[in-house]
Amino acid sequence: MRIAIVDDIASERQTLQDGLDGQLSRLSLDALVWGFGSGAEFLAAAEKERFDLVFLDIYMGDENGVDTAEALRRFDRDCLLVFTTTSTDHALDGFRVRAFHYLVKPWTDGDLAALFDEIVRRLPADDRYIEVNATGGAVRLRYREILYAEHHQHRIHIYRADGQETVTRQTFREFSASLGDGCFFRCSRGVIVNLGHVADFNGMDFVLKDGKRVPVSRDLAKAARMAFGDFLFGKGN
């Protein structure tokens, strides 16, 4: 995930950067953050490579953040836009440029946490990751890298999209809890699958896009079909 902070005051950019670092760590989000001192500088960068999330100050010297947002929307309609401001007087302007939220200064850690809890629901699982202890040390795995995982003899065997396998020692409950995202479904007492890699559900197995089959307990078949349907519907919207 690419995040931009646009504010003409360096100390304000740093304060927000520190707050973002805390939230990214709390939610296990993999992201790069850039700081820009003006709207013009930000727009020049955004035209070359889009950002997923932008924190944009409304009052920046001679510049108005709303004008910057309008210019951004001419070539990027999809990035999440959060205005950082001391006032919500520009709420109607924010509606016009499809602002996602206002972060009113001085914001608190609680304000930022609540905002990111909502943001994470809008972002793809591509930017989420887990970190597990494996032979050789800690391994960071993005959600999108995980095909499925199974519990066997007190270990979790994680099968990855690159054909490799990562093994970690922990309970299945602990591992499942670390995958707190709607793209995973528990197929049985010791198997969990990433719905993002599923091509079909035939009533007994999830058929992955690479042809592998992941069995589903009979008592979970109905829930599996519903979860897969909900996942596809949500993805399409």
77 CB-near residues (< 8 Å, 6+ apart): 98
Which pair of structure tokens corresponds to residue 41? Answer: 């500088």
Q: Strands 2-6 and 53-57, how do they pair?
A: parallel
Q: Strands 32-36 and 165-168, how do they pair?
A: unpaired
Which pair of structure tokens corresponds to residue 70? Answer: 């309008």
Kindly state whether residues 118 and 10 are assigned to the same domain.
Answer: yes
Using an 8 Å Cβ cutoff, are 2 and 30 in contact? no
Percent of the chain having pLDDT more than 70? 90
CA atoms of 110 and 69, how far apart (whole Å): 26
Could you say which of 70, 95, 123 is where a domain stops?
A: 123
Q: How many CA atoms lie within 13 A of 233 on its CB side?
A: 6
Provide the number of structural domains found in the chain.
2
Q: Tell me: pLDDT of 235 over 60.
A: no
Kindly state whether residues 112 and 206 are assigned to the same domain.
Answer: no
Kindly state whether residues 118 and 181 are assigned to the same domain.
Answer: no
Buried-exposed string 80-106: b where 16+ CB fall within 10 A, e elsewhere = bbbbbbeeeebeebbeebebbbbbeee
pLDDT digits (tens, 9 = 90+) for 115-158: 998 887 776 555 678 888 887 788 888 888 899 999 998 899 99
Kindly state whether residues 79 and 52 are assigned to the same domain.
Answer: yes
pLDDT mean across residues, the chain:
87
Q: Tell me: pLDDT of 237 over 50.
A: no
CA atoms of 58 and 170, how far apart (whole Å): 47
pLDDT recorded at residue 23 = 92
pLDDT recorded at residue 165 = 93
3-state secondary structure of 132: strand
Q: What is the pTM of this model?
A: 0.59
Structural domain span for residue 110: 2-123
Kindly state whether residues 30 and 107 are assigned to the same domain.
Answer: yes
- Among the residue ranges 21-35, 115-129, 164-178, 187-201, the one predicted with the least confidence is 115-129
CA atoms of 33 and 30, how far apart (whole Å): 10
Please report which confidence band the pLDDT of residue 236 belongs to, taking 50, 70 and 90 as the band edges.
Answer: very low
Please report which confidence band the pLDDT of residue 181 belongs to, taking 50, 70 and 90 as the band edges.
Answer: low
- Among the residue ranges 9-13, 55-59, 84-88, the one predicted with the least confidence is 84-88
